[in-house]
Amino acid sequence: MDELRKEERREKEIDKTESGVFDKRTMLTLSKLMSDKIIDYLDFPIASGKESFVFCAKDTDGKNLAVKIYPINTSIFKNMMRYVEGDPRYEHVKRDIKSIVFTWARKEFVNLKEMRKAGVRTPEPIEVRNNVLVMEYIGDEKGPAPMLKDAVLDRETAEEYFMQIIEYIKAMYRANLVHGDLSEYNILAWNGPVVIDVGQAVTLEHHYANDMLIRDLRNIVKFFNKHGIRERVEDIEQKVKSND
Ligand SMILES: Nc1ncnc2c1ncn2[C@@H]1O[C@H](COP(=O)(O)OP(=O)(O)O)[C@@H](O)[C@H]1O
Ligand SMILES: [Mg+2]
């Protein structure tokens, strides 16, 4: 059987197992994380989208964790390929769905680590196994931190958030990274901005890196415009690139 047909058959099998919430392999990964005492149990769902499910979980000390699960399916595969190919860190990855989704979860884990090292506030990555990423939970017993889009900010706080986010973009850039999906949806407001959802972040060598940076800056400038902050994308781009 040629490779393409093999791949199609595999996709069909995956679709079949997805009639439940998670496929068997994901269940197995979760139960392994439990027997290894990284997670005690999944507590409640925080968010579910096309590309991921995020849960609040507890560790064995009763501390909150965030668990992000990437479904292994075809709909997200193409999008993921765009950000894996061209990133020199992932040149030698196999190109089937499972490998790409696993790589994606690992890429998010590594990006979180690199960003934190660069001084960007992100959830602390704790463990990655196959398509499951375990990280620090941002929030408290009352619930997860709000997304920036839902946060209530007075003018002064908005200004502080804006400046901090630009500092984070600069810090990423110095660390050779561009977030690529930065917006009020992927920043949590928890006593300052917390950058999340970093799976797609690529190194500056990537052929999309510059477009991704501009898009990030446009999103941020547009959002803070609504809070009365007037800045030009071109001016910030200049500052980011000249590290000023
Ligand atoms: N570490 C975390 N702590 C608390 N909430 C989180 C955490 N990570 C993600 N979330 C919540 O889950 C949602 C989806 O997570 P995100 O990483 O943005 O995935 P997606 O790729 O599906 O957008 C976020 O908007 C946020 O509300
Ligand atoms: Mg998101």
The string of pLDDT tens digits covering residues 196-229 is: 999 999 999 999 999 999 999 999 999 999 999 9
Q: Cβ(54)–Cβ(136) under 8 Å?
A: no
One-letter amino acid of 115: M
Report the C-alpha gap between 107 and 46 in whole angstroms: 22
172 in the same domain as 157: yes
Nearest Cα residue to atom 13 of ligand 1 = 47
204 in the same domain as 83: no
Nearest Cα residue to atom 20 of ligand 1 = 52
Residue 159's pLDDT is what?
98
Domain boundary among 107, 139, 171: 139
In this predicted structure, the answer to whether residue 138 has a pLDDT above a threshold of 90 is yes
147 in the same domain as 99: no
73 in the same domain as 33: yes
132 in the same domain as 192: no
Average of per-residue pLDDT across 166-185 = 98
152 in the same domain as 65: no
The domain that contains 64 carries what CATH number? 3.30.200.20
Domain boundary among 94, 124, 139: 139
Report the C-alpha gap between 176 and 153 in whole angstroms: 31
164 in the same domain as 109: no
73 in the same domain as 193: no
Report the C-alpha gap between 94 and 37 in whole angstroms: 30
Beta-carbon count within 10 A of 141 CB: 6
Look up residue 3 and give its two tokens: 């490779």
114 in the same domain as 74: yes
Residue 22's pLDDT is what?
84
Q: How many residues does the chain have?
A: 244
- For residue 238, how far is its CA from the centre of ligand 1 (angstroms)? 30
The domain that contains 228 carries what CATH number? 1.10.510.10
Residue 17's pLDDT is what?
46
Report the C-alpha gap between 127 and 118 in whole angstroms: 19
Boundaries of domain holding 23? 3-139
**pTM for the full model?**
0.91
Q: Which listed ligand is nearest to 139 at the C-alpha?
A: 1
- For residue 197, how far is its CA from the centre of ligand 2 (angstroms)? 5
Q: Which residues form the catalytic set?
A: 181, 197
In this predicted structure, the answer to whether residue 1 has a pLDDT above a threshold of 60 is no
Q: How many domains does the chain have?
A: 2
Helical segments of 85-154, H only:
97-117
Is the pLDDT higher at 102 or at 5? 102
127 in the same domain as 33: yes
> How much is the mean pLDDT over the chain?
92
Domain boundary among 121, 139, 157: 139
